[in-house]
Structure 1
Amino acid sequence: MKLGYMTNAFGLLVGSGGGVTSVKDIRYETICDDSEVIKRIAGHGFKSIELFDGNLERFVSDPDKLKKILIDNNVSLLGVYVGANYIYRDALEDELWHIERTAKIASSLGASHVVLGGGAVRASGIKDEDYDLLAKGLDNAREVVQKHGLVASYHPHLGGSMVETPEQIDKLFALTSIPFCPDIAHIAVGGGDPLEIVKKYYDRIKYVHLKDLMNGEFCL
């Protein structure tokens, strides 16, 4: 088992401006000095890190720079987190393009996991067919991630995702066999019992986000 830490705990989370007009450019990014944050994480004894796709993107033109940062701090890149809408048919092709591009870069840097988040909520609300669309989109995403030798896992996420509650998790997982990345705190805030959900889907858990809560707020 590998125990790591996410760099997103060290800065403001934003989205890429390019994603406003081009779906292929949608990504998460933590505003931070990646090198300094990785050094801090390593200083606390962690040997693995997870990055957002937007932070990984910073090193696309010079991946050796990130390799050197990892080597200098004696840590490895364990996984990369990527979000997408999945339910808009015309946009899915570009979303999968971005996911595969991210997986390819992550694989070249030694990562073994891609964490998939998302499932858009329409202005009119969630439609029943959206769970079928999300499941099919995740199955497609899993395929492109596996092409590069990585494991893809789905992360139910609060704040604008159509999979937040235990009932929504069950509804999605009845339609897809994608591995599960439970986030203990997100499950709790979504009204679930983290232990019971972990027990229920234990066989498909390949990756875990271990987060705590204090006064209803996430503790990273």
Structure 2
Amino acid sequence: MKARLGMSPIAWWNDDLPELSDDVSLEECLRQSRSAGFTGMEKGRRFPDDPDVMLPILRAADVTLCGGWFSGTLVNEELAVNKDRIAPMIELFKAVDAPCIVYGEVGRSIQGKRDVPLAQKPKLTDDEMKTYGRTLTAFGEWCAEQGMPLSYHHHMAAVVETEAELDAFMAASGEGIPLLLDAGHLAFAGGDPLRAIDKHHARINHVHVKDIRRAVVDGLDRSKQSFLDAVALGAFTVPGDGSLDFGAIVQRLADHGYEGWFVVEAEQDPVKAPPLKMAQIGHAELMRVMTAAGYTVETQGFPKA
């Protein structure tokens, strides 16, 4: 089985908490992650939106664009609005041969609101979830028809956060909207990543290998503290530096035949957790557990002409 390792630039630049950002250029971010062994990087705010500008940067760094976040609002806005907003991103991602666009629901979400505690996260009724699932399926099918698949990101503080909500969303939606499995977000929400893999492996097309610091997560007062408070306190980290058993998680994905990207996404304070050091720790741990699970990790970065 083949796999590829990528990173998210959120370790270097945090869009929601600018104070948790390292003052480095895009080129330096790519250089550091590539030196640690990663061959892919998801899109961040310092990436250009013009493929003629982006491609030479990726080529020079020997890094592939392995995904990127789209702030979707389908829980409270029309399909047409989201189609108009994602259309330029689809064309960009096609031009640089990215594997997928990560759909993150921000409608009704409190993930970017530091003054709203975790306990006040939005919740959908059964009927709302069914409608939402149908809408996401239609949107995913449309994006695939344009040439770019989506990957649905369940997320803390959003409408699909808990394992039960993920199960309900998966039941309400169809194959037209594949799933991004994020071990860290699911564990933070009290879910079991292994059980989720067993239930939903057929639709997983992208994986975020985010770790958590269990002591930080368990120590939160969710009636008072927000998702961004948790991030600032160090709730997330890279594999090998946290509390999750990635040997078991990666093995379970291998058991179900998953092949594709494993992306380290770990937002934290770059002063306390230098991104290059974290990248090195995460890469070493992933290579250890992926080799044990029978994966061959591809080492080529930007596709050769």
TM-score by length of 1: 0.81
Give me the whole-angstrom Cα distance separating, in 1, the residues matched to 2:172 and 2:53.
41
CA distance in 1, matches of 2:166, 2:106: 12
Deviation at 1:55, TM superposition (A): 4.5
CA contact 1:107–1:148 (8 Å) conserved in 2 = no
Equivalent residue, structure 1, for 2:39:
47
Matches of 1:119 and 1:130, distance apart in 2:
16
Distance in 2 between residues matched to 1:168 and 1:124, nearest whole Å: 12
User: Following the alignment from structure 2 to structure 1, what is the Cα–Cα distance between the partners of residues 121 and 186?
Assistant: 25
Matching of residues 1-220 of structure 1 within 5 Å = 1-14=3-16, 33-52=25-44, 54-56=45-47, 59-60=48-49, 62-89=50-77, 91-118=78-105, 120-121=107-108, 125-128=122-125, 129-159=127-157, 161-177=158-174, 178-214=177-213, 215=215, 216=217, 217-219=235-237, 220=266
Equivalent residues of 2:122, 2:159 under 8 A apart: no
Q: Which has the higher contact order (CA 8 A, sep 6+)?
A: 2
C-alpha change, 1:85 and 1:155, in structure 2 (3 Å) is same
For residues 127 and 210 of structure 1, the distance between their equivalents in structure 2, rounded to whole angstroms, comes to 27
Q: Which amino acid aligns with 1:184?
A: A
Q: Are the equivalent residues in 2 in contact too, given 1:139–1:176 (CA < 8 A)?
A: yes
- Aligned partners of 1:157 and 1:186 also within 8 Å: yes
CA contact (8 A) 2:27 2:61 kept: no
Task: Tell me by how many angstroms 1:11 deviates.
Answer: 1.5
Q: Output the amino acid matched with 2:160.
A: V
Displacement, 1:209? 0.4
| Corresponding letter in the other structure for 1:112 | P
Unaligned runs of 5+ in 1: 16-29
| 1:146-194 superposed Cα distances (whole Å, 9 cap, x missing partner) | 13422211110002x1111111111111111221111101000111011
Percentage of pairs with the same residue: 25
TM-score, with length taken from structure 2:
0.60
Give unpaired runs (5+ residues) of structure 2. Answer: 110-119, 218-234, 238-265, 267-305
- Number of residue-to-residue matches in the alignment: 201
> Using the alignment, how far apart are the partners of 2:122 and 2:7 within structure 1?
34
